[in-house]
Amino acid sequence: MTAPRFLDRHVMVTGAGNGIGAATAIRFAQEGARISIIDRDAAGMAAVAAEVDASQIHIRVGDCTNMEVVRDFHDSAADNFGPVQVLFNNVGQSGRECSSPFADSHEDVWRFVFEVSLMTTMRLSRLVAPAMRERGGRIVNMSSDAAFAGDAGLADYAAAKMGVVGFTRALARELAPSGVTVNAVAPGAIATRAHDRVPADVIDRIRRETPAGFVGAPGDVAAAVAFLASDEARFITGQTLLIDGGRWMV
């Protein structure tokens, strides 16, 4: 029998309390990883923990937009399981119910979207990069097909998520000589709790534009993240994989 791909590797997942983050954290644990997870949703984190052996999981309930919280989470996770070998920067969101046409939008919403969707990705990557530069590793960042399609009503989110793509490419070039790969995933419409808070007309339009004709599941993204984090993807770096039923093709 083939050994699990992530046996005893330390994998960190942000925004892991529900949806894609939860599905991916559980997927990594099922493949043998020791997982460190953070989210503001304590109940969601408890639900993830219930699916995993207690010896495999390190939990922090907290806000990834707070640098002190993030630093403490990273340091305590490293103390518990050793240096992070795989980082999945999943946390992020659109303005959701505050989303609007750009001409009607507000700067405080832009700043929030950039903070939670781009700055959190840079923040955790900065914390894990020094150890990865010494030992190698994998970073997978969460973008969105909204960055490529330029969805109306999501200008701030599209801008932040395209920022993730640019950051992914630049960091991939910097860390490649150290045996670190850095890639991104860009999901389309995925059935999550957050998805339910996006204006219905936006979701309906995205679904109509999806050739596959259906909304994806969190596990569809988890499978792609696990591949990019595995040894099988050692020759893939600086790339963005769209997981959107063909809505945007590159």
Q: Which residues are catalytically annotated?
A: 157
Tokens at residue 249, please? 């093709």
Q: Are 160 and 117 in contact (CB under 8 A)?
A: yes
- How many whole angstroms from its chain centre is CA 106? 26
Per DSSP, the three-state class of 166 is: helix
From the list 1, 52, 3, the residue with the least C-alpha distance to 24 is 52
> Which residues contact residue 225 at a Cβ distance below 8 angstroms, ignoring those fewer than 6 apart?
24, 27, 88, 140, 185
Tokens at residue 217, please? 């599941």
Q: Are 38 and 73 in contact (CB under 8 A)?
A: yes
CA distance 76 to 238: 29
DSSP 8-state symbol, 2: P
Q: How many helices (H) and strands (E) does the chain have?
A: 9, 7
